[in-house]
């Protein structure tokens, strides 16, 4: 059976990992390559690198980093952040990224999804959707969740699928950073309405949250950052717990 995936997310700035990372036996916690190798060894199924650099210059550094990660890491990885053109994607894929993730640029120019899917195949096109629940409706937000739009999440997700996205990475701004669990209701609805995989993000705090996001949220994969970086959750232990709950994982 296809397994549920556990995906650590690394924020990258100027080619280095940011946010505190508390790994034992790590020579350089700011080195994305070193970290990625550790995660591959410690049971991560995939990795996501999110480039939060503000300048074009810094993004060039990220491209070099992608090449080094591809050289040394034997599990798949996705690169997102600041991607706005087919040309950007070409460089990242050519440097060895397996998938790319687009967000605001897809909302501004939805045909970018079609162009990428036609040129490189749906399998490498992840569309990230940041959303916030306002009153009773879930609205898409841009620029890391800071700019609200009137776009309904479910409408947008379906459009994204029909334009050729291979996966959706859904982040609930209401849950992100709270460590109180994932947005399981909206995730379950997304997962049932879409026929492409949904990666859940935002809210991971303890192992139970992962059980819930797979069982109740019907997610295909779960992404988290700090709980893994700070060693609060060990991925192998987490997978053992999931397996005991009859959730299929790669151990």
Partner 1 sequence: MKVVIIDYGAGNIKSIQFAFQRLGINTELTSSKSTILKADKVIFPGVGEASSAMNMLQHSSLDRLIPNLQQPVLGICLGMQLLCKYTEEGSTHGLGIFDVKVKKFDTRVKVPQVGWNVIKDLKSDVFVGIPEKSYMYLVHSYYAEICDETISKTDYGLEYTSALQKKNFYGVQFHPEKSGDLGEQILKNFIEI
CB of 122 to partner 1, least distance (A): 6
Nearer to partner 1, 183 or 219 (CB): 219
- Cα separation, 174 vs 183, in Å, equals 8
By beta-carbon proximity to partner 1, the closer residue of 19 and 245 is 245
Question: Can you say whether residue 249 is alpha, beta or left, with left for phi > 0 and alpha for psi between -120 and 50 degrees?
Answer: beta
130 tagged catalytic: yes
Note the residues at the interface with partner 1 (CB under 8 A).
1-5, 40, 45, 67, 70-72, 74-76, 93-98, 118-124, 166-167, 194-197, 220-221, 250
Nearer of residues 74 and 146 to partner 1, judged by Cβ: 74
What is the distance between the alpha carbons of residues 188 and 132, in angstroms, rounded to a whole number? Answer: 16
| Residue 84 to residue 56: CA distance in whole angstroms | 12
Least separation in angstroms between CB 39 and partner 1 = 12
Q: Compute the least distance from the CB of residue 150 to partner 1, in Å.
A: 28
220 as an active site residue: the answer is: no
Of 45, 51, 88, 130, which one is the catalytic site residue? 130
Of the chain, the end-to-end C-alpha distance in Å amounts to: 13
DSSP character string of 88-106: HHHHHHHTT-SEEEE-HHH
Catalytic residue numbers read 11, 130
């Amino acid at each position: 059976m296809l397994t549920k995936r556990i995906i650590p997310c690394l924020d990258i700035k100027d080619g280095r990992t940011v946010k505190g990372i508390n790994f034992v036996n790590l020579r350089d916690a700011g080195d994305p390559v070193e970290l990625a190798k550790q995660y591959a060894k410690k049971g991560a199924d995939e990795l996501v690198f999110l480039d939060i650099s503000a300048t074009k210059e810094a993004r060039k550094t990220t491209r070099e980093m992608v090449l080094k990660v591809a050289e040394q890491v034997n599990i798949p990885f996705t690169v997102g952040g600041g991607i706005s053109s087919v040309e950007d994607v070409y460089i990242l894929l050519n440097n060895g990224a397996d998938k790319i993730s687009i967000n605001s640029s897809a909302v501004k120019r939805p045909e970018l999804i079609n162009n990428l899917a036609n040129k490189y195949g749906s399998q490498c096109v992840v569309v990230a959707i940041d959303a916030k629940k306002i009153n009773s409706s879930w609205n898409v937000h841009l620029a890391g969740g800071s700019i609200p739009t009137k776009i309904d999440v479910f409408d947008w997700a379906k459009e994204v699928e029909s334009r050729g996205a291979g996966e959706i990475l859904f982040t609930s701004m209401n849950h992100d950073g709270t460590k109180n669990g994932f947005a399981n209701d909206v995730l379950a609805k997304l997962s049932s309405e879409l026929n492409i995989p949904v990666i859940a993000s935002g809210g991971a705090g303890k192992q139970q949250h992962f059980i819930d996001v797979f069982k109740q949220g019907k997610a295909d994969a779960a992404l988290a950052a700090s709980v893994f970086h700070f060693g609060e959750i060990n991925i192998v232990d987490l997978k053992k717990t999931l397996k005991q709950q009859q959730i299929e994982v790669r151990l």
